[in-house]
Amino acid sequence: MDYQLIRSNRRKTIALQVKNAQVIVRAPDFVKVEYIENLIQLKSIWLAKKIALQQLSNNTLSSCSKNNFSLDNPVYIDGLPHRIIICFGRQKVQHDFVEKSLRVFIALRYQQYEINSVAIAQKVKSLIEQWFKASIDEYLSHQLPLFSEKTLLHAEAFKVRKYKARWGSCSSRGELSFNYLLKMLPPWVVDYVIVHELCHLKYMNHSTKFWQLVERHCPEFYLAKQWLKKNQAYLSWN
Ligand SMILES: [Zn+2]
């Protein structure tokens, strides 16, 4: 993790801070770098969440209040902006998390259209949507059993679907549903949504007991709630 170190001979204690999505460490002169790096390591989960929260709220607020699809706009994947690269060939979507890009392959016949035409935009969007569904389905297939083991709460079944105004839901039959756009969110926020829905298997309301149960299995739940509140715009993708 990158950080900025500010030394001072007047300081007596170490302070960790996240400002503009950057870690800042203020430390007395006598503290060794190994000690500081160890501390950062220990606090890495907390720091990563703070960074994600600041990064995303900055990006959302500075770009626009709505999450609109456009070939020129970055698309969010796992909470990070990715650029869309259009390629021609056998239909598929390739995610490159190092390069932060999403290569969308569309059929050769689309070459007859202008690159920024409506036809191409619609095709690309629908392929990304399919990819979102498949990717979040895969993530949930992996995470749900882990959280079920932790919470001792087991869903009858789960599905991924398009929702206009919610991230997830829990039916009285014990079936969980999740918004396919969860693929846009940082994984730690998705994990909170999973825990939230699992806890509804025990409490079908948002009572104090419900939130206590959520907190027990997801201690940082308030940060995730805050993140979701700030980024409501991600609930739909137009
Ligand atoms: Zn709820």
Output the pLDDT for position 122: 94
How far apart are the CA of 44 and the centre of ligand 1, in A? 28
Burial (CB count within 10 angstroms: exposed 0-12, middle 13-18, buried 19+), residue 189: buried
pLDDT > 70 fraction of the chain, expressed in percent and rounded = 96
How far apart are the CA of 103 and the centre of ligand 1, in A? 35
Output the pLDDT for position 72: 87
How far apart are the CA of 65 and the centre of ligand 1, in A? 24
What pTM does this model have?
Answer: 0.78
How far apart are the CA of 198 and the centre of ligand 1, in A? 9
pLDDT (tens digit, 9 = 90+) per residue, 106-143?
999 999 999 889 999 999 999 999 999 999 999 999 99
How far apart are the CA of 169 and the centre of ligand 1, in A? 7
Report which residue type is found at 113: Y
How far apart are the CA of 100 and the centre of ligand 1, in A? 32
Q: Which residues contact 194 (CB under 8 A, 6 or more apart)?
A: 140, 143, 144, 147, 168, 178
Output the pLDDT for position 58: 60
How far apart are the CA of 1 and the centre of ligand 1, in A? 34
| H-run or E-run covering 92 | strand 92-96
How far apart are the CA of 104 and the centre of ligand 1, in A? 35
CB atoms within 10 A of CB 20: 9
How far apart are the CA of 167 and the centre of ligand 1, in A? 9
Go through 103-142 and write b for each residue having 16 or more CB atoms within 10 A of its CB, e for each that does not.
bbbbeeeeeeeeeeeeebbebbbebbbebbbebbbebbee
Task: Give the closest residue to 210 by CA, choosing from 160, 150, 149, 151.
Answer: 151
How far apart are the CA of 207 and the centre of ligand 1, in A? 10
Output the pLDDT for position 61: 40
Tokens of 69: 């699809």
Output the pLDDT for position 2: 83
CB atoms within 10 A of CB 6: 12
| pLDDT lower than 70: segments of the chain | 56-65
How far apart are the CA of 211 and the centre of ligand 1, in A? 9
How far apart are the CA of 205 and the centre of ligand 1, in A? 7
Domain architecture of the chain: domains with CATH:
3-61 (no CATH), 62-234 (3.30.2010.10)
How far apart are the CA of 204 and the centre of ligand 1, in A? 8
SS3 letters across 61-89? HHHCCCCCCCCCCCEEECCEEEEEEEEEC
Look-up of token digits 């993708």: 237
- Contact in structure between 153 and 221 (CB atoms under 8 Å): no
How far apart are the CA of 49 and the centre of ligand 1, in A? 22
- Contact in structure between 158 and 139 (CB atoms under 8 Å): no
